[in-house]
């Protein structure tokens, strides 16, 4: 009797310790896209408001947020084109913003004043970009390819002559060499310029506008890249990031008079960006630390790091310090929640949350934080990735898996929020966002491991993601698909064509399918980067075209035997609609199930919530039918016959 009681007690204790899948709610695609994406956050001249871009209306518009009470006031109210905030004017509350038409990437600059808008720099058939305000705050800088569609010149427009529009602009730099303008010194004498020689190597030049001389200030051995960040207020130093003689990017500065270079800050990760506050009280540095942004702020008067608020489960991804240097706008990001904006007071330590972007219908506890993992590829190389595991997944309840591939080439999956990922994980799909060789953020050696090798080793890294899935013990290995956009969409099609048995289906979101055509039809304003792009992928006008044809899935559609879904924007200037049209036609000829979703008012990336809801909602239905459901079993059974 006593032994039976002890056995019963032991079994009870064991059962109590067993982890059961956590209870959670499932949410619709509509609920996920009621979340708000918000970004930006420059201070108004009196530092009482923040200027932001938000898609709460269903499309991006410009808003200002009252810092005192959190009230949000719309500045623009477009229901057709996404409007993006650029800046308040330096000494009044006029607002500069930009938009293109249907995702065609031809941006104009516009002014909102007292509830009305007017065109400052038109964007019809040309591309313009806000380049900042002069230090004396009497003029605006912008770049434009209106003179030559291939190259961007830099212009200055005086605020006193702004009523005359673009006609009153003065050209500061005429770009005839295919260089990229970086930073302008406070006294407007110097301009930092860069040029990509290859995808791994580049040059940095200093233009002295007083003499017209352009000097190479990046003479180096081996491969190195350079990115100007800012000039010092006394116009004596140029600060820039570089990976010269290093695997990772660091912050350096150059004495413009002596030419002496010194390393200012480095980490065991890439320094992403750096800038200093208005009067150089603070230096802000952003570090790409294992797919997560780590921000450090230094008080330059004491040379000590400033203690910032800690956000559990999240990280500060960007900072904007007010002109008075007393407050900072903090953008806080997490992989399980849209970014939120806070204002932090350096002097008092007060922290105020200004936004709550998660749909109140969704319980944040039901969403899944991504976990950084690593696994071995086919050749033993360690591949970093971010893993999202559904809350209902267990050894007794195995779930389907999706290998997710980022854009690029040279992109990175990061610990940031993407509603589609959270939606699919919430619906019971495990996701492994792979940072295959060739991804940024892990040093330049790793970044260039896929040069002239796309569709081969980078693809094998993605296929090896299945080994990680199997190691978890909770993935149904008969139900694994691959999904990705842009370059990631190419990887989807490469997997379907060159590794046809690796995945049960593919979801290609505006992916390249014909590299020869894509590389020959890049937008004209990519001219300065074309040589580097050809260096990495191959020159489509040379014998490289033979290899480019071999790695282009369009010419191998006969190999595709598994269900395919394709999504495309009709106005995409990077991956033309014809890429998707032809791959769909080719795969359909095999008698393979294909679903094609195209949006007439989108470009390279979907911006309108109604389109995201429709397109991404259809992805889930496609997966349910061909990965989870009976249709998936029928496809596999038919292959065995």
Distances (CA, A) of 548 to 386, 453, 454, 544: 30, 10, 9, 6
Q: What is the mean pLDDT of the chain?
A: 93
What percentage of the chain reaches a pLDDT higher than 90? 90
Give the pair of three-digit tokens for residue 561. Answer: 């035997």
Question: Which one, of 518, 608, 523, 620, lies nearest residue 569 by Cα?
Answer: 608
Q: Is pLDDT above 90 for 114?
A: no
Question: Which one, of 510, 516, 517, 497, lies nearest residue 587 by Cα?
Answer: 497
Rounded to 5 degrees, what angle do the CA atoms 630, 616, 397 make?
A: 45
Task: Please classify residue 536 by burial: count the beta carbons closer than 10 Å to its beta carbon, then call 0-12 exposed, 13-18 middle and 19+ buried.
Answer: buried
Q: Is 368-636 CATH 3.90.440.10?
A: no
At 526 the pLDDT is 87
Domain boundaries, the chain: 42-137, 368-636
Return d(Cα 339, Cα 419) in angstroms, integer.
Answer: 12
At 491 the pLDDT is 98
pLDDT tens digits along 363-422: 999 999 999 999 999 999 999 999 999 999 999 999 999 999 999 989 999 999 999 999
Q: Is pLDDT above 70 for 630?
A: no
At 637 the pLDDT is 56
At 528 the pLDDT is 84
Query: In sequence order, which residues have a C-beta less than 8 Å from that of residue 226 and are 6 or more positions away?
Result: 194, 202, 203, 204, 218, 240, 241, 242, 244
At 313 the pLDDT is 78
For residues 123-141, average pLDDT: 96
At 16 the pLDDT is 39
For residues 610-628, average pLDDT: 97
**DSSP letter for each residue of 387-408:** EE--TT-BTTB-EEEEEEE-ST
Contact between 186 and 231 under an 8 Å Cβ cutoff? The reply is yes
Q: How confident is the model at residue 1 (pLDDT cuts 50, 70, 90)?
A: very low
Return d(Cα 421, Cα 382) in angstroms, integer.
Answer: 24
At 634 the pLDDT is 59
Greatest distance between any 2 Cα atoms in the chain: 101
pLDDT tens digits along 457-476: 999 999 999 999 999 999 99
Round the CA-based radius of gyration of the chain to a whole number and report it: 26
For residues 471-483, average pLDDT: 98
Q: How confident is the model at residue 22 (pLDDT cuts 50, 70, 90)?
A: low
């Amino acid at each position: 009797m006593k032994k039976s009681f002890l056995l019963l007690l032991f079994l009870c204790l064991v059962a109590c310790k067993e982890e059961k899948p956590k209870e959670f709610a499932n949410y619709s695609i509509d609920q996920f896209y009621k979340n708000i994406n918000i970004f930006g956050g420059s201070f108004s001249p009196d530092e009482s408001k923040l200027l932001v871009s938000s898609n709460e209306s269903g499309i991006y518009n410009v808003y200002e947020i009252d810092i005192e009470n959190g009230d949000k006031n719309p500045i623009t109210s477009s229901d057709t084109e996404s409007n993006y905030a650029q800046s308040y004017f330096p000494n009044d509350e006029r607002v500069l913003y930009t938009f293109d038409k249907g995702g065609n990437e031809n941006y104009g600059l516009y002014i909102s004043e007292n509830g009305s808008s007017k065109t400052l720099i038109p964007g019809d058939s040309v591309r313009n970009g806000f380049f900042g305000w002069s230090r004396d705050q009497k003029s605006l800088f912008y770049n434009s390819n209106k003179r030559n569609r291939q190259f961007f010149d830099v212009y200055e427009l005086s605020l006193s002559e702004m009523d005359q529009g673009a006609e009153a602009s003065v050209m500061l730099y005429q770009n005839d060499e295919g260089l990229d303008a970086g930073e302008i010194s406070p006294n407007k004498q110097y301009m930092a310029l860069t040029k990509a020689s290859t995808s791994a190597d580049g040059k940095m030049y200093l233009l002295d506008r007083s003499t017209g001389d352009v000097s190479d200030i990046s003479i180096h051995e081996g491969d190195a890249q350079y990115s100007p960040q800012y000039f010092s207020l006394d116009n004596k130093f140029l600060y820039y990031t570089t990976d010269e003689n290093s695997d990772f990017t660091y912050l350096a500065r150059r004495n413009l008079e002596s030419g002496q270079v010194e390393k200012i800050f480095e980490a065991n990760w890439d320094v992403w960006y750096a800038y200093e506050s208005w009067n150089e009280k603070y230096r802000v540095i952003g570090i790409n630390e294992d797919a997560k942004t780590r921000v450090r702020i230094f008080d330059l008067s004491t040379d000590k790091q400033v203690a910032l608020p800690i956000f559990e489960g999240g990280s500060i991804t960007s900072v904007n310090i007010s002109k008075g240097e007393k407050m900072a706008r903090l953008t806080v990001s997490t992989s399980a929640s849209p970014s939120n904006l806070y204002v932090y007071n350096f002097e008092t330590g007060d922290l105020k949350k200004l936004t709550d972007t998660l749909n109140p219908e969704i319980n944040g506890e039901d969403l899944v934080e991504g976990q950084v993992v690593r696994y071995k590829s086919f050749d033993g190389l360690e591949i970093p990735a971010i893993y999202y595991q559904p809350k209902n997944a267990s050894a007794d309840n195995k779930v389907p898996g999706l290998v997710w591939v980022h854009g690029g080439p040279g992109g990175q999956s990061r610990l940031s929020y993407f509603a589609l990922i959270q939606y699919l994980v919430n619906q019971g799909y495990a996701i492994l966002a792979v940072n295959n060789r060739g991804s940024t953020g892990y040093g330049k050696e790793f970044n260039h491991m896929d040069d002239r090798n796309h569709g081969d080793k980078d693809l094998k890294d993605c296929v090896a993601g299945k080994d990680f899935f199997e190691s978890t013990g909770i993935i149904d290995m008969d139900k694994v698909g691959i999904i990705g956009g842009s370059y990631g969409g190419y990887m989807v099609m490469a997997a379907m064509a060159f590794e046809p048995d690796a995945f049960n289906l593919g979801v290609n979101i505006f992916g390249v399918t014909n590299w020869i055509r894509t590389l020959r039809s890049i937008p004209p304003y990519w001219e300065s980067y074309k040589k580097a792009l050809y260096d990495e992928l191959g020159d489509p006008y040379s014998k490289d075209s033979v290899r480019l044809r071999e790695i282009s899935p369009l010419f191998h559609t006969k190999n595709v035997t598994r269900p395919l879904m394709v999504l495309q924007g009709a106005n995409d200037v990077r991956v033309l609609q014809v890429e998707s049209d032809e791959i769909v036609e080719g795969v359909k000829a095999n008698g393979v199930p294909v679903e094609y979703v195209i949006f007439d008012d989108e470009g390279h990336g979907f911006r309108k919530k109604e389109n995201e809801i429709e397109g991404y909602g259809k992805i889930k239905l496609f997966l349910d039918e061909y990965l989870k459901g009976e249709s998936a079993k029928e496809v596999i059974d038919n292959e065995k016959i």
